[in-house]
Amino acid sequence: MLLPPAALAALLLDYVLAEPQRFHPLVLFGHWAQWLEKRLNHRASRHNIARGLLALLAALSPLLLILLLNLFLWQQAFWLWLLLQIVILWSCIGWQSLQQHVLAVYQALQANDLPAAREKLSWIVSRDTGQLNDDEVSQAAIESALENSADALFVSLFWFALGVAFLGALPALLHRWVNTLDAMWGYRNERYRHFGRAAARLDDLLAFWPARLTALCFTLCAGRNLTSAWHCWRRQAGQCASPNGGPVMTSGAGALQVRLSERACYHGEWKNKPQMGCGRPAQAADIPRALTLVRCALWLFFLFWCAALLIIFPVLI
């Protein structure tokens, strides 16, 4: 029953401190993953799938040490164990940092500084931003807020909620590390197409149900737009390239009653995107609305969590 308060404590740390600028555990993990990739990713071939799987297992191996530490603290010093869970979950959450980046784009647009908005957007998206107009910048920022809120917030909380006994925050940390590996190795280019496949597939698997729970929360927070959010999710998500980003972005766009990006530029080449949302094209004023939707969904998630505990806990005892 202490897990929801521990999650709230981690969220409070994220709100007050955001992500540490120096000595972030994910930065250290990124260096470790980069070291492994340089030594195992030698050539582009199908044999690299096995090398990528080996690199994935090696990258995640420090989790065994953290598991042993968790087990020891669980048996010897419960409050230290609980404190460790809060710190681990805090290291997994990136919600405050995501908000700050998205609001920086919004503030630049409000100041009519399109070049600055494009630059700040480039920090949080993989597409080329140099040729986007105001509305396209706004739409990309909203997509980032919706899609990345799943990885930076809801998926971590989902796996933390499922942490049983001494596992605690370990499932959340597993997802965050796998998500980081997918961000580093999950490109569909010659170098990573085979090597990063195992990390990408595991990331998809770990986020599958949490992403759909996030989409459900967005839908239920849509108010009078609930039907639009549901229809957009069910009709449009399957057309999106990302199996987990699709439900999150389409339900969120439907809840906001706006349409998101119809095209995107990658490496100088424009590509059409499937329809996401309904109504008018999203504009700068919709960016704060998207962040408000995520906050509403967060509180609804906690209500689901507490309700589940009230049902399950009496059964267990």
pLDDT tens digits for 279-304? 999 999 999 999 999 999 999 999 98
Confidence band, pLDDT 50/70/90 cuts, at residue 1: low
19-63 pLDDT tens trace:
766 667 788 898 999 999 998 887 666 678 889 999 999 999 999
119-130 pLDDT tens trace:
999 999 988 999
Question: Mean per-residue pLDDT for 171-183?
Answer: 94
Q: What's the pLDDT at 316?
A: 46
Q: Is the pLDDT reported for residue 148 higher than 90?
A: yes
Q: Is the pLDDT reported for residue 313 higher than 70?
A: no
Q: What's the pLDDT at 191?
A: 84
Question: Mean per-residue pLDDT for 101-105?
Answer: 97
Q: What's the pLDDT at 44?
A: 65
Q: Is the pLDDT reported for residue 315 higher than 60?
A: no
The larger pLDDT score, comparing residue 24 to residue 197, is at 197
212-254 pLDDT tens trace:
999 999 999 999 999 999 999 999 999 998 999 999 999 999 9
Q: Is the pLDDT reported for residue 168 higher than 70?
A: yes
Work out the mean pLDDT of the chain and round it to a whole number: 91
Q: What's the pLDDT at 86?
A: 94
Question: Mean per-residue pLDDT for 4-10?
Answer: 89
Q: What's the pLDDT at 105?
A: 97
Q: What's the pLDDT at 164?
A: 66
Q: What's the pLDDT at 209?
A: 96
Q: Is the pLDDT reported for residue 309 higher than 70?
A: yes
Q: Is the pLDDT reported for residue 171 higher than 90?
A: yes
Stretch among 1-15, 18-32, 88-102 having the lowest mean pLDDT: 18-32
Percent of the chain with pLDDT over 90: 71
Question: Mean per-residue pLDDT for 159-163?
Answer: 89
Q: Is the pLDDT reported for residue 203 higher than 70?
A: yes
Pairing of strands 258-259, 280-281: parallel
Q: What's the pLDDT at 231?
A: 97
Cβ–Cβ under 8 Å, residues 89 and 7? yes
Centre a 10 Å sphere on the Cβ of residue 30 and count the other Cβ atoms it contains. 17
Q: What's the pLDDT at 317?
A: 46
Question: Mean per-residue pLDDT for 139-145?
Answer: 96
